[in-house]
Amino acid sequence: MIYAHVRWVLFFVFITFLGACGGGGVTEPPQGNIGGSVTPEPTATPNVPSPGEFSVEQTRYAATFSEYENSYVTWDISGGVSRADEGLFIFADLSQSILLESAEVTFNEEALTGTLVITSVESNTLLPGTYYETITINACTTPDCHRHYTGSPLDVDMLVSVLPNTNADLNCIADVGVVFQECVPSPWLGVAAWEMSADGNFVQIKHMDGNKPDRLINWDVIASDDPERGNVLDITYNQLPGNGSLRFPAEYNALQGMPVANMSAFALGTIEFDIRVLDWGQATDLKAHVECFWPCVSQNIELNVPVINEWQHISLSLSELEEGGLNLVTVSTGLLIEPTWDAMAGLHYQLDNVRWLPGPALPLSSLHASDMKPEIQGTPAPEFQFVGIAAYVTPGWNSAADTISLFYTLEEPVDFSSRIGMNLTVQIPQNTVGSGVKALLFVRDNQGREARGLSTSLGDFAGKWLELTLRNYTLDADESFDVTRISFLGVRLFHDSEPVDPGSDTFQFNDITFRRY
């Protein structure tokens, strides 16, 4: 018997019956119990509600996964009855669920508190899409569930979204940097939304549903009333309580192991787009920002949209976004637009020509390693071959004091102060495993003063290709080094241990390339 005014305890009884069908329960279920649920037997006794009232604190739960993940989520469902002096038995049917894997209870007998913990299936068992399910919880005074508490049966909604790894629109071909222009091309996943309920439970979900009336945000690609524009993205906020933002998420990047795009080539550039507000609804402003895999995010920038029903051109400075926290190497959202918080219902706007534009042209194109010259310190006996675009170096180490460099002389000094990164790929021989061989990139100004990048232990990458990089020219620089007058650039091999392997295998160096960072 459970006494009056007991709260939270209901799920202690629930798990007893649920477990009986799942293998390991101690109470045999009544006749008709199938798959963890109770089907009440026919009875002539009317279903007279108990004076007690059954309720749960929350009736909606949601989760978002990405296709590349192998994960699951647990939901804590808390509730109780106002009076339980006639006994309390709880039943729920999970047998037909494709979203829910199991349920168990945590119970504090002394405090008479309890929480039902429902665990979802692993996300890799679900195809990309949005899934809706409702589970029904019955609170009854007897095991045969002939008499319900007021409020029983009670439905709890489950919503799960699985975002795909790749863009499904294989026919969308666009210039590099385009996010939306008639359609959404790779490396962007498509159009998506993030939404959060405004009922105090803060239920959140990301989805790509587009047109569903029970979603806060709807969108569609439609023909513009301006024939010169072609198709535009039409976005509406339904008359629903909640907050949310429209976004263009990145595809899954296998090299980085997460859904991000490396947009460092656009450093010092801009994000450009056209926007037209057709109806402000409850909103009074729009803000935009870019995400770089949460919690990495730029600051919000308010958009200047002074006139309704007219297209406005927006330009966002990537330098300003970086100053506000953006990392261009791990951009997870190409653009995100968010209306006034807690006042989004009724908003209607359109987007067109969303694109990233690069900054000033690089002062250098790629340089061939085969055009570099050797420079030796110490007593090594290296062998060099310059074939095609590549340079081949067999070190012939003699002591730990040996260094072997390849360098390129520029025709005119070049200013590297505007965030120009230098990169060089090298194939590392297998016999480098366990050795003390290291490599770094360097530059020299027109007076011969040098700046060196971070060194890399090549033994960790034996038998592989590796990209060496140099970004921060002030990290390890000679006194008075002038980054605005770069005249030499190169790569250096050196050794930091004794005895020295003479290095019978050969390193292959390919092109030197440059990019913004």
Strand order in the sheet with 113-120: 74-77, 113-120, 100-108
Q: For 181-197, what is the mean pLDDT?
A: 96
Q: What angle is formed at CA 255 by the lines to CA 251 and CA 260, rounded to 5 degrees?
A: 35
Distance CA(238)–CA(195), nearest Å, equals: 12
Same fold, 178-357 and 369-516: yes
Cα distance between residue 415 and residue 514, in whole Å: 13
**Domain spans, the chain:** 10-161, 178-357, 369-516
pLDDT (mean) for 210-233: 93
Tell me the CATH architecture of domain 369-516: Sandwich (2.60)
Percent of the chain with pLDDT over 90: 63
pLDDT single digits (tens) 103-114: 776 655 554 445
C-alpha distance from residue 375 to each of 74, 379, 406, 422 (Å): 61, 12, 6, 20
Q: What is the CATH code for 10-161?
A: 2.60.40
CATH number of this structure's domain 178-357: 2.60.120.430
Closest CA to 267 of 405, 393, 355, 361: 361
Mean pLDDT calculated for residue range 482-500:
88
User: Residue 93: is its pLDDT beyond 80?
Assistant: no
Q: What whole-number distance in Å separates Cα of residue 88 and Cα of residue 102? A: 22
- Model confidence pTM above 0.75: no
CB 256 within 8 A of CB 330: yes
Do 436 and 496 form a contact (C-beta atoms < 8 A)? yes
**pLDDT by residue (tens digit) across 7-21?**
333 333 333 223 222
Q: How many CB atoms lie within 10 A of CB 165?
A: 15
Name the band, by pLDDT with cuts 50, 70 and 90, for residue 54: confident
Strands 149-150 and 50-56, sheet pairing? parallel
Alpha helices, H only, 278-391? 318-323
Average pLDDT, the chain: 85
DSSP H helices in 305-379: 318-323
| Per-residue H/E/C for 380-408 | CCCEEEEECCEEEEECCCCCCCCEEEEEE
Q: What is the structure's pLDDT at 136? A: 87
Any idea which of 60-69, 144-153, 173-182, 447-456 has the lowest mean pLDDT?
Answer: 144-153
What is the spatial order of strands in the sheet that 129-140 belongs to? 60-66, 154-163, 129-140, 89-92
